[in-house]
Structure 1
Amino acid sequence: MALDPLFQPFALGDLTLKNRIVMAPLTRSRASAGTDAPNDLNVDYYRQRAGAGLIIAEATQISQQGQGYVATPGIYTSEQVEGWRKVTKAVHQEGGRIFLQLWHVGRISHTSLQPNGGAPVAPSAIKAKGQTYTKQGRVDFSMPRALEAEEIPGIIRGYLNAAENAERAGFDGVELHAANGYLLDQFLRDGANKRQDAYGGSVDNRTRLTIEALLTLCRVFPKERVGIRLSPVSHANDLEDSNPTALYDYLVRELDALKIAYMHVIEGETQGPRDPQGFDFGAMRKSFHGAYMANNGYDGALAAEAVSEGRADFVAFGRAFISNPDLPERLRQGAPLTPDDKDTWYGGGAEGYTTYPTLEQAKA
């Protein structure tokens, strides 16, 4: 079969993944109101999708300060840890593997979501264009304040606490979210980072926080169970950089030296075209000797081609997993995919979340 490369097992450190199909982290905004803890609905959702070689659970804030949208889950309270423990147990019972994506949104937030109604934090006090979701509905992002140098160790401690909690919750590993215009990406890019201290200016300074965060995660999980998500040319959340090639050439060499498990790369615009915009993703792949996870606009044929030709070790699928809980089996059989309902992407209950049928259920 043309898609056979996707169904070969893959050794990710000491973990054996049953196929090369990864469920990408997908924000669905269905954490419990008041606690931002996962609940039984979330357990069912992830259990249904355990046929993936690896699930990367939705972006999960490391602290209240790290939250940017209403009803997204956290990993900083005991209740949240218990909620996630039920999720990981369900996935493992189905023979799946699951990592948690650790998230701090930085300036992509609103005062109503922040501790004591404070301003969101960022590398520099530059407001992003765009809106977020709060209990009151859609609102513009709030004006952020620049993090003081003495606050940055607290950010690192937040990542440490989150990783320790992820381990307690039973996750097989963690992924550091350094993409899509959130805090670490804001530090990476000179469009948002105008600092003049050790965390701003030169490329090595702008990558410093990301590297420090990764080193912190590797204190909790073996480096073979730590990954990172990057989006080199995405303009998501109003983010720019004057020279992404120089930035990511340097960063990828540093990641390679750390020998972490994988790089998860959004090739093109987040939720947009695969246009490389002059960026050489192939060179990025060659510079990193760990596993390469490709993402953005892949269908089964394109994913199988990328794996077969060595351009990727595994491929992350996002929207297709929303409405096809048994996506690997559908790809294996060449079965049609169920279209998703965009109106139920964020918030709500079971409808459009756990109600999509498997191929077997649809036939019945």
Structure 2
Amino acid sequence: MRKSLSLIVLIWMISFSAEAQQSSAEEDTRLHWDESSNLLDDEKALPVNAAQPTPFNAFHKKDQNEFVIAPIPFLNPSQGWGLALMAQYIFTLKDDDSPPSIVGGGAFYTEKHSYGGGLAYSGKLANDEWRVGLALGKATVFYDFYGVGYDQNKQDISIPLKQEVDFAGLRLMKQVTNKLFLGIELIGAEITTNIESENIPGVLAEEIVAKTDFIAPNLKAERDTRNDSFYPTEGSLFDLQAEFHSEELHDNSTYQTYKISWNQYLQMAPFSVFAYRLMARFAYGEVPFYSLSMFGQGGDLRGYETGKYRDKMMWAAQTEYRYRFTDRWGGVAFAGAGQLAPKVSDFDGAAFLGSGGLGVRFQIAEKNPVDFRFDTAYGDQKVSYYFSVGQAF
């Protein structure tokens, strides 16, 4: 759900210190928990394998309970520099074989004067039979809106928007078989959008929604076989979501969004990992601009200002090679491509958008492999920089 282009991901990043997959004021602007928000996911211990040593001694520690409190600077194309102040506690329940749970909160401020904060809890209960999530927050975010569709986006004409969001969320998922979880998320939000300019291109002004409030159910299926959620070296993550909006639930329009994604992690050697991600998202109905599919969000794709390119239909694919030089330092090389279109049939002949780049990683937590990341990406005929917490996916 892309409620408020820029804001939700920052709240997620603060509350869970990664996002999410998450990590720009307009990247991951979603209200629900996402597979790309690494600190929201479960933390699984990596089994010791003498024949396949890993550079992370922390993976082998039985007691991974840990406080992580830090100011976190970040940088992205849509918001410029920003600072997040976050605090979280990673813990495991006594006499419970569940992966660690997380409770946290924080606040952020950006170069564009966007600000906000949130609190969240992600719990794994009853030997990981149940997964429960709670979150609430609010923010005010300033960003540029370029319209809808590749042809209009490519003109590089934008208007500045101010978006205010208050939201609360609840997630409940049950493990129905080995590593497969089914459940529902309920998101309630109030979104107010204002145009911060008197010189408005008419074609863009018609697409702005002034105010909406809603409760949206999101049906979700997830299969997670990763050996770790902060820095996986093996396994995969499959995620399927179906989100429903209706005027009967106080939304301004009736529409649905469907998203499917697959992340795969392959250990090439004791200190290197090859990872790839495939995703597609489809929206049907009277979809407001902030709920359209868009590049630059959640790492799909780095190198693009989040929300500049948006439409109803989207697919993206990316690869990343990760190498650890030491327990704390690492580097990555990445590349990706994708398309946007108003209908699935329009993918044939639609423009391809691509990106690639290099990055550096530095582990900031003592017991869990939580990384600062700095990425340099080339996309949309320019170089962009990202500085945040957690892997891109």
Tell me which protein shows more helix as a share of its residues: 1
TM-score scaled by length of structure 1:
0.30
Using the size of structure 2 for normalisation, the TM-score is: 0.29
Name the structure with the higher strand share: 2
